[in-house]
Structure 1
């Protein structure tokens, strides 16, 4: 049963990783497309098109920053949980030593 649960979790992690890779590829493609369109806009000296491309690029950068911020927030949350668990472990060890000490008395 435990192995099945672990395999299921591992499978989910792999699926999440695949989704992240796909998203990164899409973002990269969007970046390449934006650069290509930006080059075309410069050639035609179309200021309005260049402004639209600039806006799209800024939006893409904002999306990337948002994903990075989410990842940082999740990392911080995990670190806090880990710290909490370490504190709880120390508290339980202390309690265990206290109980052992009382048993000796």
Structure 2
């Protein structure tokens, strides 16, 4: 995966934890940016203007929002240690 990977998250969010766990499982280096969930920072509003929520994964300046979308993005861009099964039915069940 590579050059610059940022994760905007919050300590108490299990949505953020699962993205962090996926990055660690894959051995991907990233910079974690702690967000205050009660005060939306200008960066969060910039990178997730629709829902204004965390987590937001930023890859070389390009945002990927929503934790499940983050997991799929991580899994698809880094083929080592797959998170989701290869078979479509098994992938659907894992998403469920």
Q: Would the TM-score normalized by the shorter structure come out above 0.5?
A: no
Tell me the TM-score normalized by structure 1.
0.19
Structure number with bigger Rg: 1
Tell me the TM-score normalized by structure 2.
0.20
